[in-house]
Each structure stands twice: as structure tokens, then as C-alpha cells.
Structure 1
């Protein structure tokens, strides 16, 4: 059962994502800001991280940079889930090492399928979609 770290400061969205991914058989831990996401990534070493871009304390891109710079967390796949839709935002996140980029609003079923795909690609398993 893969462990996923979700970092988003929107409690309603976090509940929606948690419900959807837990129904797919995943375990979730939730961070409400970027600094907490980096800390929880180091502490729990999740199989995948889902990061929002606009969060307090550390932005998603800054959290992603710190995750990629830390040898303990550098290999964890990261999916950006954000309302930032600009080409520069997408390209910047991918250059920082994001494995996938999904914009809000999103379809929960599509998010679940993309999570499964990234987990399979990383060798962390994943359920049949």
C-alpha cells in the first residue's frame, strides 16, 4: 500500500484528494505548508509527493527544490497539483524535477490514474487503474 504525502493548504481539496486516493488503496499524510512537506518527506520517505505551488512558508517549487537537493528525498516522485497554469510555471516545475504537472480544477479520477502511472514508472507499484 503506497504512502503518499499531499501538501496543500486548502483543507477541502486535501480532503477530496485524500478520499479519492485512499479509496484507491493508498495511505496519505497531509502537510498544510511547504516547510512541513519537506519535513514530512524526510521523516516518512513517502512513495510519492503531491505538491501545490502556492502554499505558506515555502512555495511548492521551493519545497520541490529542497526535496531534490536532499539525498534522502531526491528520488521520491513528485506530482505538482496547482492552479498555476502558465507555461513558465510548468516548465520551471519540470526543470526542478517534478515528474508530473496537473492543473486545478482537476478530475479526481484523472489524478488517481496519473498517481498510479508515476508510481509504476518509479517502481513503487501502484494499483491497476
Structure 2
């Protein structure tokens, strides 16, 4: 499936605060911790816990979230399918970054070892 311009626009306007609780619920339901989730987000974006809470409180959009992020250079190693999209085929940088995050959260929830998730 190829993302449309409308899909890209929707991703840019979606707030991190609206999705973050779903990330937490997803990983905790599968026996992983919020701390592990934060470790994964920190690896991808460089954000510490206080910056994450600040972005949630500010209702930052994903556009703002990733503009402020210091994306890990190894993020390009994140490949595969997520939400019906093949990550490496997404041509919009912001949509690709959001799907990187989705993929990492999914891998964490599926029980993958942190060393593998963090591409060490």
C-alpha cells in the first residue's frame, strides 16, 4: 500500500499526546514497561523523559515532535511492514519517521530483545 498525500497530512497534524497513551498500553499489556518504551523513544529521537512529558503536555504534533528530534542515524535500519505500509518504500520523511516509531513500539510489544530493537 502506498500512502497518499492526505495520509501524510494526517500524520503531520496528529498529536504525539493522542498516540502516546496507546503506546504505553500496548507495551504494558504485553508485559513490557513504560521505562523500556522511553528507552526506545530516546534511542530514536534523543528525547529524555522530561522532554517527552513536555511534548505530551504541549500537545505537540508529530511534525513538531520530529522537527525537534535528533533522529538516530541507525533509524534507516528499521525496515518491514507496519500498519500495511512497507517502511522502506515510504517517500515522505515525516510519515517514515512516524512509522519508525510505530515499528519500534510494535517490536517492543512483541517481546523482541532491546538490543535488537535498538539495532545494536
TM-score bin, normalised by smaller chain = 0.3 to 0.5
Relative contact order (alpha carbons < 8 A, sep ≥ 6): 1 or 2 greater? 2
State the TM-score, normalizing by the size of structure 1: 0.33
State the TM-score, normalizing by the size of structure 2: 0.35
Q: 1 or 2, which has the higher helix percentage?
A: 2
Q: 1 or 2, which has the higher strand percentage?
A: 1
